[in-house]
Amino acid sequence: MATVMQKIKDIEDEMARTQKNKATAHHLGLLKAKLAKLRRELLTPSSKGAGGAGEGFDVTKSGDSRVGLVGFPSVGKSTLLNKLTGTFSEVASYEFTTLTCIPGVITYRGAKIQLLDLPGIIEGAKDGKGRGRQVISTARTCNCILIVLDAIKPITHKRLIEKELEGFGIRLNKEPPNLTFRKKDKGGLNLTSTVTTTHLDLETVKAICSEYRIHNADITLRYDATADDLIDVIEGSRVYIPCIYVVNKIDQITLEELEILDKLPHYCPISAHLEWNLDGLLEKIWEYLDLTRIYTKPKGMNPDYEDPVILSSKKRTVEDFCDRIHKDMLKQFKYALVWGSSAKHKPQRVGKEHELEDEDVVQIIKKV
């Protein structure tokens, strides 16, 4: 492990020494690719002699969605979990009170949202320091990440945590790169782009691909992509997660400072101890999770508004709805009746490709 760590440090030092200009672009691309490969080795240690996943980290996924609390020690993650979910996670005024992953559940607008209180991470977590690897691997499985920051401590903590998560292949509040990368058997490397590119040219692409031993591929750029975007696509193990920066302990700062914090994007100021703005935080979590609630209606009865079926906004067809209820439901599916904003008339008879909207009412008609 030390050798991999040393290699990473050497490459980072060399990148810091290298000037950024057109002449060094492909050399920097090569270094970035090497760095991404070494990081991957750190993430997936060889099976022999590697420690287990760590006590209390393999938390079963429950509920409709999963939200992780990430932050440095003593910023109020456990207090926030206690106030939102009523679960008890130990709270004390010293650092590293929470040592394992503690789950809690919030029921909000009919959806069960699992909230994970992860131990505090320290600088260098992406290199495996201080339980960091397990913490960040658990963060990868979340549908939304809350980065909890302390209002009194400097904002540099935000950059440090982002850097740790980026090093683990978690991309915050970003869309997957809009470029296609297709391997082939022969024909060399073809680079086509629909826009003028300022970061990538054929030389840089060749340098990056040769590091991955890829010599034949078609690459299409639909926007001005950087070397990092290309590496992300080749690596393929990147997760794109929405993230909210929760600034805690706002009761200890002045109004002027709060107004400055308010201008930052993806922010939500709270005070977990005094329970200020926790409703606003829940609203924001709901908005970022982007969930769709569907109500069921048994034949001849009123719709059940108490217990909605929760679907993600990316997978919300009638077919996904049936899968969510029971996997054998599609075999007996004849058609569905839909009331709500996705229906042209009430009720509309639809097939399984129909896309549902939030708060639609669905009745499934089965084959006899």
Q: What is the spatial distance between Cα 115 and Cα 111, in angstroms, rounded to a whole number? A: 12
Mean pLDDT of the chain: 79
pTM above 0.75, yes or no: no
Query: For 291-336, what is each residue's pLDDT tens digit?
Result: 888 898 888 888 888 888 888 878 888 888 888 888 788 888 888 8
Choose the most confident range, by mean pLDDT, from 129-143, 147-161, 232-246: 232-246
Task: Give the least confident one: 22-26, 124-128, 179-183.
Answer: 124-128
What are the pLDDT digits (tens) for 62-103? 777 888 888 777 777 778 877 777 766 666 655 566 566 777
Enclosing H/E stretch for 26: helix 25-43
Whether 113 has a pLDDT exceeding 80, the answer reads: yes
User: Is 52's pLDDT higher than 50?
Assistant: no
Q: State the pLDDT at residue 123.
A: 57
Q: Where are the domains of the chain?
A: 63-171+237-286, 176-236, 290-364
Cα radius of gyration (the chain): 24
Superfamily of structural domain 290-364: Beta-grasp domain (3.10.20.30)
Q: Work out the pLDDT band at 127, boundaries 50, 70, 90.
A: low
What percentage of the chain carries pLDDT values higher than 90?
0
Check residues 277 and 50 and name the one with the higher pLDDT. 277
Q: List the alpha helices (DSSP H) in 103-151.
A: 132-140
- Cα 312 to chain center, whole Å? 14
Q: For the chain, first and last CA: distance in Å?
A: 62
Please tell me what DSSP assigns to residue 123. T
Q: Which amino acid is it at 49?
A: G
User: Do 63-171+237-286 and 290-364 have matching folds?
Assistant: no
pLDDT score for 101? 73
pLDDT over threshold 50, residue 51: no
pLDDT of residue 90: 65
**How high is the pLDDT of residue 57?**
61
**Mean pLDDT confidence for 205-216:** 83
3.30.70.3270, 3.20.20.140, 3.40.50.720, 3.40.50.300: which CATH number matches 63-171+237-286? 3.40.50.300
Give me the pLDDT at residue 48, please.
46
Q: Which residues contact 183 (CB under 8 A, 6 or more apart)?
A: 214, 216, 217
pLDDT 10s digits, 253-265:
788 877 877 778 8
166 alpha carbon, distance to own chain's centre: 11
Contacts 24+ apart (CB under 8 A), 121-125: 121/70, 121/71, 121/72, 121/161, 121/164, 122/72, 122/73, 123/160, 123/164, 124/164, 125/164
DSSP state, residue 118: P
